[in-house]
C-alpha cells in the first residue's frame, strides 16, 4: 500500500447519503470516489438483514426526491418497505446513474489524517491509501453495531448473531432454541418472525419499549399513483414538518391533557388502528407536557394489557418511562407473539445477564439452554462510525479526544480543528428525528453547493469555528430541554453504550434547521473560516 490515489473528494460510505453525494459531486465536475466497507451499496440496508427488517417511514416518503423520473419509475410494493426491497431500490439507483464504477467496495477506512501544510486528507484503508483535499463522511447514524462483551461469549457452543451484522445468506431457526437479547426496534421486528421458526424462543429484556402497530399492507396502486401525481407538492409540504414526514391526519393544536375521555379514547383508537407514527401526532403536546405524555403512555399500556393474555407478562412488556423519549417502535404482532406457549420473556432489568456458558445464557442464577443467540443490542449511534475511523485533524488532535465531553459540531456538518471534513446527518443535525433520506438530500446538497462555491472562489480550506460549534451545541441542548426527549436513557443520549458521555445528539426540528443552513451559506458561510 505504498502508492497513493489522489482525488478531489473522497466520500466514505455508499448508503443513501454516499450514493447521493457521489451522484451530485460527479455531476458538478468533481473528481470523486466513494469508499464502502460492505460488498455492495445500501449502507444500513446492506447490513441489517435480520428477519422482519423494515423501514418505519412509509416507502413513498422514504425515497429520493432529486430525480422526478426515478420517482415515477420505481414501484413500491408495501406501505412500509422491507429490507430486501429497500436494498433493491439502492441497487437500482446505483445502476441507473452508473455509480458503482466510482465505488471501492470491501474497503474499510482505518485511519484519516489531515495535513495542515497541503490542506489534504490521507485516508488509509485495509487495501489502499487515498488522498484528497475534501472528505465527506456519509457513514450513517446507525451503522456501528453495539456488540456487548459478555463474559463467556467465546464459550458458547451455539451460533451467535447480531441484528446489525446479519449473514447475507440468511438464517433458518427451524426447530432451534433461540435467545434474543434486547427489546429495541430490531428485536420488536424480528421476534415475531423468529418465533414462527424456533421451537423455543427466550427473550431477555432489560427495558421494555413502547410499540405501535405498523398496519403494514400491500400498497394500493391507486394511492401510489396519486402520490406520484402530486410528488412535488407532497415533498414540499413534508419539508415544512418538524419530522419531515407527512401523516394521513391534519395538523392540530389540541392538548391531550384537556381532551375529554371519550374524545381522547376515540382519537387514540383511530390512530392506533391506522398505525404508524401518526399516533404520536394525535396531540401537539405529547413530547412537551408530562401530564399529556402520561395519558398517552397509559393508553398504550392499556392496549398492551388487552393483547397480552398473561397479566404478569403484560406488566413486564409495559414501559414506565416517558413515551417517545426513545425512538418509537412500529410492529407487526409483537405483543401477540408473547401469547405463544413456546415464547418466554425473562426480565433482566435488575440482575442483568451474568455470563454466557457453553450451553446458553446465565441470568439471575438460572441457565437457559440455547442453540443460537441473537444480539438485538442496537448501535453506537450517531458517533460510533465516525470515531471508528481514527480521525486526526489539525495539530494532531484526534476526534475521540475532541469529543470526550460529547460530540461538538457546527450544524452537524463540520467539526472545529478538522478542516475540509463534512459529516452527513452528523450529531447536531435533525438526522434520526426526521425522514432520513430527506435529511440526507438537504445535507448533501448544502455540502455540494459549498464545494462548488469554494472552487469558484479559489478557496482551499473550510473549517467551523470553536465559537460557532459551542453556540450550536448549546442551541441543540436548549431545544431538547424544552421537550421530554432527554428525560430517559436512550441512544439519542448514548446511554446504551458503557462509558459514553451522555449528551442529547440530534437536533429537534427540520424546517428551522434547513433555514439556518441556508442562512449560513447566504451569509458567506458564517461560523466558518474559509481560506
In a domain, 297, yes or no: yes
Residues 162 and 280 in one domain: no
Residue 221 has pLDDT above 80, yes or no: yes
Residues 388 and 508 in one domain: yes
Residue 521 has pLDDT above 90, yes or no: yes
- Percent of the chain past pLDDT 70, that is, above it, reads 100
Residue 1 has pLDDT above 80, yes or no: no
Query: Which residues, 6+ apart, have CB-to-CB distance to 210 below 8 Å?
Result: 297, 300, 319, 323, 324, 326, 328, 329
In a domain, 449, yes or no: yes
In a domain, 232, yes or no: no
Distances (CA, A) of 382 to 89, 379, 467: 24, 9, 22
| pLDDT bucket at 368, cuts 50 / 70 / 90 | very high
- Asked if residue 521 lies in contact with residue 502, where contact means CB atoms within 8 angstroms, the answer is no
Task: Tell whether the torsion through CA atoms of 311, 195, 216 and 47 is positive or negative.
Answer: positive
In a domain, 220, yes or no: no
Residues 300 and 310 in one domain: yes
Residues 398 and 268 in one domain: no
The dihedrals phi and psi of 302, each to the nearest 5 degrees, come to -65, -35
**3-class DSSP state for residue 291?**
helix
Residues 348 and 387 in one domain: no
Residue linked to cell 429497500:
86
Across 183-194, average pLDDT: 97
Q: Which of 481, 492, 506 is nearest to 427 (CA)?
A: 506
Residues 358 and 420 in one domain: no
pLDDT in tens, 13-55: 999 999 999 999 999 999 999 999 999 999 999 999 999 999 9
- Asked if residue 517 lies in contact with residue 494, where contact means CB atoms within 8 angstroms, the answer is no
| CA within 13 Å, CB half, 495 | 14
In a domain, 10, yes or no: yes
Residue 341 has pLDDT above 90, yes or no: yes
Residues 286 and 412 in one domain: no
Residue 484 has pLDDT above 90, yes or no: yes
Give CA–CA dist 326/484, Å, rounded: 10
Q: According to the model, what pLDDT value does residue 257 have?
A: 96
**Domain residue limits at 257:** 247-316
Residues 468 and 503 in one domain: yes
Residues 68 and 193 in one domain: no
- Percent of the chain past pLDDT 90, that is, above it, reads 96
Torsion angle, CA of 99/100/105/110, rounded to 10 degrees? Answer: -20
CATH number, domain with residue 404: 3.50.50.60
Would you list the DSSP string of 147-194? ----TTTTT--SEEEEGGG--TT----TT-EEEEE--SHHHHHHHHHH
* Average pLDDT of the residues of the chain: 96
In a domain, 241, yes or no: no
| pLDDT bucket at 314, cuts 50 / 70 / 90 | very high
C-alpha cell at 367: 441457565
Residues 62 and 198 in one domain: no
pLDDT in tens, 44-90: 999 999 999 999 999 999 999 999 999 999 999 999 999 999 999 99
Q: According to the model, what pLDDT value does residue 142 have?
A: 93
Please name every residue paired with 462 in a beta bridge, in sequence order, or none if there are none.
Answer: 530
Q: According to the model, what pLDDT value does residue 275 have?
A: 97
Q: According to the model, what pLDDT value does residue 91 have?
A: 98
Residues 260 and 393 in one domain: no
- The residue among 372, 393, 409 that closes a domain is 372
In a domain, 171, yes or no: yes
- The residue among 316, 341, 360 that closes a domain is 316
* Number of domains making up the chain: 3
Residue 239 has pLDDT above 70, yes or no: yes
Gyration radius of the chain over CA positions = 23
In a domain, 295, yes or no: yes
pLDDT in tens, 453-466: 999 999 999 999 99
Q: According to the model, what pLDDT value does residue 327 have?
A: 85
- The residue among 338, 356, 372 that closes a domain is 372
Residues 304 and 395 in one domain: no
Regarding pTM above 0.85, the answer is: yes
Distance of alpha carbon 262 from its chain centroid, rounded?
A: 36
Amino acid at each position: 500500500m505504498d502508492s497513493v490515489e489522489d482525488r478531489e473528494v473522497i466520500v466514505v460510505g455508499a448508503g443513501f447519503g454516499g450514493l447521493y453525494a457521489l451522484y451530485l459531486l460527479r455531476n458538478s465536475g468533481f473528481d470523486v470516489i466513494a469508499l464502502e466497507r460492505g460488498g455492495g451499496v445500501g449502507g444500513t440496508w446492506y447490513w441489517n438483514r435480520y428477519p422482519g427488517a423494515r423501514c418505519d417511514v412509509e416507502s413513498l416518503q422514504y425515497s429520493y426526491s432529486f430525480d422526478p423520473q426515478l420517482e415515477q419509475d420505481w414501484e413500491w410494493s408495501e406501505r412500509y418497505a422491507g429490507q430486501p426491497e429497500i436494498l433493491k431500490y439502492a441497487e437500482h439507483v446505483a445502476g441507473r446513474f452508473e455509480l458503482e464504477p466510482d465505488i471501492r467496495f470491501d474497503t474499510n477506512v482505518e485511519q484519516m489524517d489531515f495535513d495542515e501544510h497541503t490542506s489534504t486528507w490521507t485516508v488509509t484503508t485495509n487495501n489502499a491509501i487515498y488522498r484528497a483535499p475534501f472528505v465527506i463522511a456519509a457513514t450513517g447514524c446507525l451503522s456501528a453495531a453495539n456488540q456487548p462483551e459478555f463474559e463467556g461469549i467465546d464459550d458458547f457452543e451455539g451460533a451467535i448473531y447480531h441484528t446489525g451484522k446479519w449473514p447475507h445468506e440468511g438464517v433458518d431457526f427451524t426447530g432451534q432454541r433461540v435467545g434474543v437479547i434486547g427489546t429495541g426496534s430490531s428485536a420488536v421486528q424480528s421476534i415475531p418472525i423468529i418465533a414462527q421458526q424456533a421451537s423455543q424462543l427466550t427473550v431477555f429484556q432489560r427495558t421494555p419499549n413502547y410499540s405501535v402497530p405498523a398496519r403494514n399492507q400491500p400498497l394500493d396502486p391507486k394511492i401510489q399513483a396519486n402520490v406520484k401525481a402530486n410528488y412535488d407538492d407532497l415533498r414540499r409540504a413534508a419539508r415544512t414538518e418538524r419530522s419531515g414526514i407527512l401523516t394521513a391526519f391534519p395538523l392540530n393544536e389540541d392538548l391531550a391533557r384537556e381532551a375529554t375521555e371519550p374524545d381522547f379514547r376515540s382519537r387514540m383508537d383511530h390512530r392506533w388502528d391506522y398505525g404508524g407514527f401518526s399516533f404520536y401526532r394525535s396531540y401537539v403536546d405529547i413530547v412537551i407536557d408530562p401530564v399529556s405524555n402520561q395519558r398517552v403512555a397509559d393508553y398504550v399500556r392499556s392496549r398492551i394489557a388487552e393483547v397480552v393474555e398473561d397479566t404478569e407478562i403484560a406488566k413486564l412488556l409495559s414501559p414506565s418511562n416517558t413515551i417517545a423519549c426513545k425512538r418509537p417502535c412500529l410492529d407487526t404482532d409483537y405483543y401477540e407473539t408473547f401469547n405463544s406457549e413456546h415464547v418466554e420473556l425473562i426480565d433482566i432489568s435488575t440482575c442483568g445477564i451474568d455470563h454466557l456458558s457453553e450451553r446458553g445464557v446465565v441470568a439471575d442464577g438460572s441457565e437457559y439452554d440455547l442453540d443460537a443467540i441473537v444480539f438485538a443490542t442496537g448501535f453506537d449511534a450517531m458517533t460510533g462510525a465516525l470515531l471508528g475511523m481514527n480521525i486526526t485533524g489539525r495539530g494532531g488532535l484526534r476526534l475521540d479526544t475532541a469529543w470526550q465531553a460529547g460530540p461538538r459540531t457546527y450544524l452537524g456538518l463540520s467539526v472545529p480543528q478538522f478542516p475540509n471534513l463534512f459529516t452527513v446527518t452528523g450529531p447536531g443535525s435533525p438526522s434520526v428525528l426526521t425522514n432520513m433520506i430527506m435529511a440526507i438530500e438537504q445535507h448533501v446538497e448544502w455540502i455540494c453547493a459549498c464545494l462548488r462555491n469554494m472552487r469558484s472562489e479559489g478557496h482551499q480550506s473550510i473549517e467551523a469555528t470553536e465559537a460557532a460549534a459551542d453556540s450550536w451545541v448549546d442551541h441543540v441542548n436548549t431545544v431538547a430541554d424544552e421537550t421530554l426527549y432527554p428525560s430517559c436513557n436512550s441512544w439519542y443520549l448514548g446511554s446504551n453504550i458503557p462509558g459514553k458521555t451522555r449528551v442529547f445528539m440530534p437536533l429537534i426540528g427540520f424546517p428551522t434547521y434547513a433555514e439556518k443552513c441556508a442562512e449560513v451559506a447566504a451569509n458567506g458561510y458564517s461560523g466558518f473560516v474559509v481560506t
